[in-house]
Structure 1
Amino acid sequence: MGPIRIKSWFKSKHSKLGSDLETQVSKAQNGDECIRHDLLEQYRPFIKKVASKACKRYISESMDEYSIGLLAFNEAIDQYDKEQGNKFLTFASVVIHRRIIDHIRKESRHNYVLLNEEEDEEGNVQENVIERRTSIEKYEIELESKARAEEIFEYQKLLLTYDITFEVLTSQCPKHIDARENAKKIAKVVYENHHIRSYLEEKRRLPVSELEDIVACSRKTIERNRKYIIAMALIYIGNFTTLKSYIEPEGGLK
């Protein structure tokens, strides 16, 4: 096959998946396995790039991390929701990164157990084992910090689609602890109620009248804390695992 044919084949292949990637993803979600296969094939370099970035080293297709990235990309195809406003590749990169980080954490915990077992005959932990254990703990802290930073970045982008900035969120955060906790409970109701959640995602606003009927709050209270409630609900809707720990009963976004 000569250069012209190769170029022509690549061009037709690219145009098949081509200008509207999100439409192709939608077709794959609806059962078009040929398009799904083509997406997985075409975006192999993208998957390797994201996996390598997450691992901070080059990842080849023979490595476990690449396989995890490939599965994560396929998972992203299934979970992608165009209505949330993100481009598919942005969403896919987040899913791949999360799965790779989860894998690294799992491996780190496994290595930590192995290190704990490396003792001398008298039961004393070897000095080099302590050094390696410290290194693993430090690496896990770095991973946690990086994952949190990336989640905050994605969360910020999602908030903007609802016309909410961090500055607005800070200014409209309820001043009293009880009011904050109550707003978080309402946010959980929004997330768990399929109809209200769908309304929020479609209209980008709360169905206040419906909420008033099912929560122990006045319309005035819901309206006053509207943006804060939406922001808390989006943490659940976006499945921001790290941020979610801050809004559970024992924590709170200050």
Structure 2
Amino acid sequence: MSLQENLIKNRDTFIEENKKFIYNVTFSICKKRLQWENDDELSVALIAFNNACNSYVETRGNFFSYAKVIIKNALIDYFRKNSNKYLLSFGEENDELENAFFKNSLSEYDIKQENMKRCEEIKVLSEELKKYNISFKDLVKNSPCHKDTKDKLLNVSFSCSKDYSILDYIHKHRRLPVKQICIITGCSRKLIDQWRKYILSLIVIISNESYYYITSYLNIKVGEDNEK
């Protein structure tokens, strides 16, 4: 039976057979042991996998590569909505578990397709950022080098991306409401001003569901915020 037939006729069996895949993708982001009975993250991932089954067409490339992106973005959206509970960070560029799991699952064609879709999104993002007078060259010059700073700005951006008044201000005025961001995040004005373009770009990406592959490529990881 073909993959497409499995997705339609044997959905429950197909999902059950791929629960290990769903778990591994979720674990690669959450970096903690998870239980199907207790952890919301796995429930979110399971629903996302089912949604991937619903929306998948062959032109999207390899199904599992596509499903991985859908699951990651569903989890990221979940973390965005619950950002007070979670502490987010950028993962290492080479995630050993994830690379080992997917290394042999994608053909050269699949990899090219995924890279092509990501390039298409990058072109769209480039045009959107122009509205904010930001170029990729600007981001190279105005991106923090230290991981701690990057992670802090990631959490600031997530907090902003779930605040509709901040998003409305950004879309209307094409700049950050710095004072408001300082109030809701507790960050200094100096920090926000220094990394204004970087924060603004992250907010644009995170708050736009169209940037599936770019968001997934950010390699965001999550852990419990024990200080909350």
Distance 2:161 2:122 in 1: 19
Q: Which residue in the other structure is 1:155 paired with?
A: 125
Per-residue deviation, 1:183: 1.1
* 8 Å contact from structure 2 (residues 169, 175) kept in 1: yes
Distance 1:168 1:101 in 2: 37
Per-residue deviation, 1:167: 0.7
**For the structure 1 residues 101 and 231, does the alpha-carbon distance in structure 2 shift closer, same or farther, using more than 3 Å as the test?**
farther
Distance 2:105 2:150 in 1: 39
RMSD: 2.8
Counterpart of 1:241 (choices 212, 219, 225) is: 212
- Displaced runs of 4+ in structure 1, greater than 3 A? 98-109, 246-251
Structure showing the higher helix proportion among its residues: 1
Distance 1:219 1:166 in 2: 24
Per-residue deviation, 1:99: 7.0
Equivalences, count: 130
Amino acid corresponding to residue 216 of structure 2 in structure 1: S
Per-residue deviation, 1:249: 3.2
Q: Which residue in the other structure is 2:95 paired with?
A: none
Counterpart of 1:106 (choices 49, 63, 68) is: 63
Q: What are the within-5 Å matches in structure 2 for residues 1-254 of structure 1?
A: 103-106=60-63, 137-239=107-209, 240-250=211-221
Q: Which residue in the other structure is 1:35 paired with?
A: none
Q: Per chain length, whose mean CA-contact separation is higher, i.e. which structure has more relative contact order (CA < 8 Å, sep 6+)?
A: 2
Q: Can you give the 5+ residue segments of structure 1 that lack an aligned partner in the other structure?
A: 1-97, 110-133
Distance 1:145 1:243 in 2: 10
Per-residue deviation, 1:181: 1.1
Structure with bigger gyration radius: 1
Q: TM-score, normalised by structure 1?
A: 0.46
Structure showing the higher strand proportion among its residues: 2
Q: TM-score, normalised by structure 2?
A: 0.51
Q: Percent identity among equivalent residues?
A: 28
Q: What secondary structure does 1:170 align onto?
A: helix
Q: Can you give the 5+ residue segments of structure 2 that lack an aligned partner in the other structure?
A: 1-54, 67-103, 223-228
